Amino acid sequence: MAAAIDPNAGVECEEQEQDILQGTEPGAGSVGYEPLFCVQPDEELDVSVDEICTDPESRTSAHSDTSLTSGHISSLSSHGSPEAANSSSPKIDVIDEDENFNETFLPAQADMPSEAASPIDEKIALLSVQDEQEEARKTRAASVQEIGREASVEDVNNPQWTLHKKHVFAFSEAGKPIYSRYGNEDKLATLMGVMQALVSFVQDGKNTIRCIMAGNHKFVFLVRGHVILVAVAYTPESVTQLVLQLSYVYNQILSVLTYTQLARIMEQRRNYDLRRLLAGTEKFIDNLLNLMDHEPSFLLGSVRCLPLSSSVRETIGQSMLQARVKDLVFAILVAKNQLITLIRPKRYSLHPSDLHLIFNLVSASTSFQTAESWTPICLPRFDNSGYLYAHISYLDDNCPACLLLLSTDRDAFFELAETRLKTVERLKRYRCLEAINEAVAKKSYSTDQVGIPELYHFIYKSKSTAQYTSPELEAPYVEPEEQERLFGLYLYLHHRIHSPARPLKILCHVGIREMLLGWVTSGFELYAAFSPLVTKPDAIVAINKLLRWIKREEDRLFILSSQVF
C-alpha cells in the first residue's frame, strides 16, 4: 500500500513538510566554501557524454553541450592551450590502410599540427601521437593483465544462461559484438544481430526504440554514438534506471577508448571489432554492473565519503596539496569505494559519474595493491576526447586507502611517484594512516547512534554537495536476500518519486515487513525504512529528528569544502 503527495496538490502535514532549499540542507556546508563537485540542479541522472544525440529529447538538453565534455585536457596540458581546446578538429587522413587500428589513432587537439606546418611535419606529428595512443593501450593492458573472466566461458546454449536476472549486451551499429555480461560474445553474434536489426528497423521509421515489455522481462535499448547497448532484465529497476546503468556501461567503454577515438574508428571501419582495443578490460564492466546492483551512489548520482574527523580530513588534504607538482591535475584518495578527500584546480572539477568510474577502476583490479601503477583513463564527463594519466598506488601495505594522482603528461610517472612519497611521509608524520585504518575498520555507523529506535535504515543525499550517507545494514537486513529486497524497495521509491508523468514530493509505502518513506526537496533526497507499525506522521517527526542529527554530524559525514589550488 502506498500513499503519495503530489507537489501540485494539497500537502498534508504542511508545517512539517516545508521545502528545504538547496544550499541550506544538512551536508551543504557554509556559504563561500569551495564545493567538491559542480553539479547543476537535476543533472545527476544524466551521465551521457557523446556528441551524437540519438534521443530527440536530449537534443535540447544542456547535457549534450560538448563544452562540458571536451577541451579540458588540452587547456590543462602544458603542451596545449585554451585556444587549442576551442578550435575544431580537422579531418585526419589514415596513414596506414591496414585493419590494425592500434597504429591509427586520432591525436588530441592540443597536439595537432598547425595549418602552416609542412606535410612531412604533419606526418611526423601524427605518428608521434599514434605512438602515444599505442603506448596508452599497452600501459592499460599491462595494468589489467591479471584479470580473467569466468562469465565469458558460460555456455549460452545451457538453459541456466537464460535464468540470470539481468543480461547486458553491447554491440556496434553494424551488429559487431562488443560485450556480454554472461557468455562468450562470439556465440551471441546472431542474437546481437537480431537486436541491431530491431534498432535499425525502428530508426528507418524516424524513431528510436526505447524498450520492449515481455511479461516480467524488460528489453531496454540505448543508442549512443556508434554503440548500441541492451539490458534484458526481470529486476525491480525501472526502464529509466536501466537506461542509466547502460549509460554507465557506455561511459566505461569511453574511459578506455575516448569518444574521439571511438567515433573515428567507427566512421572509417563500421565492421571493426572493438574487442581488439578493449581486450582485458571487460572485467571492469562486469564489476561496474555488480556495483550498480547494490550501490545507491549510481542511482543518486552522488558519492559516499568515508566518515572521518574534519580535522583529520583537512590534514590529509593539506598534505596532498603541499606535495603536489606542476603537472598534477587531480589527487584523489579513496578507501573501500568511499572518498576520503580530493584536491583539484580551482577552475575545474570532476563529475560524480567520473568519480564512479575511478572507484570502479580501483575496486576491479588487485594489481594496484602490489605495486605503483601507471594507466591512462578517459573521464567522459570531464573530457571525452583524451586521456588523463593516473599514478595509482596504495598508501601502505596495511592501509586500504588508494591514492590516485592524475596528470595530462604521459611522462610524469616519476614526478608523481615523488609526490606520493612526500604525501605518505606527511600522512605518517601526522598519524593520518592510523585514523584512516580506524575509520575503515568501523565501516560506517549504526542507526542506534541516531537515537530513533523505529528507524531500520536510511539513505540521505545532499543535492548541493552531490554526496550521500547511509548507516550499516543491520537487522532485519543482515542476510543478502534481505539486503537485495531493501534495495529493490529503494528503487521502487526512487522510480515513483522521479516519475516524469507524475513527480512526487513524499511517498509512503507500507508493507508487511517495513514502512518506507521517500522525501525529496530542493535541497535533499531521503529514503528511509521504519518498523511496519510506524504511521506517516510519526515517520515525518522521526525524519525531522534524523535531519537534525545529520546536521550535527555533517563535518564528519561529508566533505563540505574542497581543497583547491
Dist CA 245 CA 222 (whole Å): 10
pLDDT value of position 76: 76
Between β-strands 303-304 and 328-335, what pairing exists: parallel, antiparallel or unpaired?
unpaired
Query: Peptide bond before 476: cis, by omega within 30 degrees of 0?
Result: yes
* Backbone φ, ψ for residue 441 (5° rounding): -65, -35
Please report the pLDDT score of residue 410 as a whole number.
93
Give the pLDDT of residue 84: 36
CATH T-level assignment (fold) for domain 447-557: Beta-Lactamase (3.30.450)
Q: Indicate the Cα dihedral angle 352, 356, 359, 361, nearest 10°.
A: -130
**Strands, E assignment, 325-364:** 328-335, 338-344
- Per-domain residue ranges for the chain? 159-293, 303-442, 447-557
Q: What is the pLDDT of residue 508?
A: 95
Q: 159-293 in CATH: which number? A: 3.30.450.70
What is the block-wise mean pLDDT of the chain (565 residues), using blocks of 10 residues?
46 47 72 66 49 37 42 65 36 32 33 38 41 52 52 81 95 96 94 96 94 95 96 96 98 96 93 93 96 96 96 96 94 96 93 97 90 95 95 95 96 96 96 96 91 97 95 95 97 95 94 96 96 95 96 95 88
Q: The C-alpha cell of 40 is what?
A: 547543476
What pLDDT sits at residue 351? 95
Burial class (CB in 10 A: 0-12, 13-18, 19+), 445: middle
Helices (H) and strands (E) in the chain, counts: 15, 18
Name the maximum alpha-carbon separation found in the chain.
Answer: 79
Cα 267 to Cα 173, 174, 280: the distances in Å are 11, 11, 24
CA separation for the pair 304, 521 (Å, rounded): 20
Q: Do domains 303-442 and 447-557 have the same CATH topology?
A: yes
Residue whose C-alpha is closest to residue 485's, from 512, 507, 460: 512
262 touches 183 (CB < 8 A): no
Give the DSSP letter of residue 56. Answer: G
pTM of the model: 0.83
Predicted pLDDT of residue 17: 53
Fill in the amino acid letter for 190: T
The CATH H-level (homologous superfamily) assignment of domain 303-442 is: Dynein light chain 2a, cytoplasmic (3.30.450.30)
Q: How many CA atoms lie within 13 A of 534 on its CB side?
A: 25
**Rounded distance, CA 251 to CA 296, Å?**
18
